[in-house]
Amino acid sequence: MENKEARCRASIGVFDSGVGGLTVAREIMRNLPGEHIVYFGDTARVPYGSKSKDTIVRYARQIIHFLQTQDVKAIVIACNTASALALDTVEKELDIPIIGVIRPGARVAVSATKNRRIGVIGTESTINSHMYQKLICEADPSVTVYEKACPLFCPLVEEGWLKDPVTKEVARRYLAELLDKDIDSLILGCTHYPLLRSLIRELVGDQITLVNPAYETARELGELLERESLSNPDEPPTPPTAEPYRFYVSDMAEKFGHFANSILPYDIETIQKINIEEY
């Protein structure tokens, strides 16, 4: 019984290619304030969006191996590319629960759409995997999915040009063909894209629902923990602090910290750099 309780007090492992997954971690912090988090950002090998399935699976295995050394009770792949390319493979190899962001995003888009025309934007690798399309059509075969890779969005976000006319022109071009298809819902299928939300909103108008899979992922994680009797029974600290959260990166901890503090509701105090290739 003691073991079971200790298990419930273990952390959630959350990983991404870099900082983008912090938008998912933020939702977990908000929705499941009693849960501890170990976050890993693969800043040495970012971006994932132009890499192959083989490579992403190898990277995901190394990261999961690292997170298991931190004794996590469940894992969230807070990266669309890794969810699209690696989740199917690594979930078969694991004896703890693991979820990605794509199934939750697909599910909420299917509930949101009225005209059954959904747009998806993401990295090259996410779009080429057609994983959103697959999961949306499994949930509702009558939906038509239109996909578009937006490879310049991540570099523009990392440059900090969130409301810049250049970014707007790039977005206008990327989104034009989706808007032509009369979509009524658009999945922001990369964890960087919610940071471009207001710029995208200006371009697509008020009639299109913007779907951020991060919200739904945090909700699904909560349901999963309940179902598996893994929720942390402790009261969250009052007032909320950064204490239950630990952050690891594979490179450039300082730059990561700067970005993280602009996304998260708490200032991160320490970020540890590890050599992920050793895992």
- Where on the chain is the footprint of a copy of itself (CB under 8 A)? 44-46, 50-52, 54-55, 58, 151-152, 154-156, 158-159, 165-166, 169-170, 250-252, 255, 275, 277
Residues 99, 61, 71, 235: is their CA dihedral positive or negative?
Answer: negative
Query: What's the min distance (Å) between Cβ of 191 and a copy of itself?
Result: 17
Query: What's the min distance (Å) between Cβ of 51 and a copy of itself?
Result: 6
Dist. CA 50–CA 8, nearest whole Å:
37
* Catalytic status, residue 8: no
131-139 and 80-91 helices, crossing angle to 10°:
70
Q: Residue 249's Cα: distance from chain center in Å?
A: 16
Nearer to a copy of itself, 126 or 250 (CB): 250
Amino acid (one-letter) located at 200: I
The one catalytic residue among 8, 79, 150, 154: 79
Query: What's the min distance (Å) between Cβ of 44 and a copy of itself?
Result: 5
Query: What's the min distance (Å) between Cβ of 58 and a copy of itself?
Result: 8
Nearer to a copy of itself, 135 or 253 (CB): 253
Pinpoint the alpha helices (H) of 159-252.
Answer: 165-179, 197-204, 213-227
Beta strands 98-99 and 74-77 are parallel
* Catalytic status, residue 190: yes
Nearer to a copy of itself, 124 or 184 (CB): 124
Question: Beta-carbon neighbour count of residue 69 at 10 Å?
Answer: 10
- For the chain, the distance separating the N- and C-terminal CA atoms, rounded to the nearest angstrom, is 31
Of 239, 276, 220, 180, nearest in space to 31 by CA? 220
Nearer to a copy of itself, 82 or 154 (CB): 154
Question: What amino acid positions are annotated as catalytic residues?
Answer: 79, 190
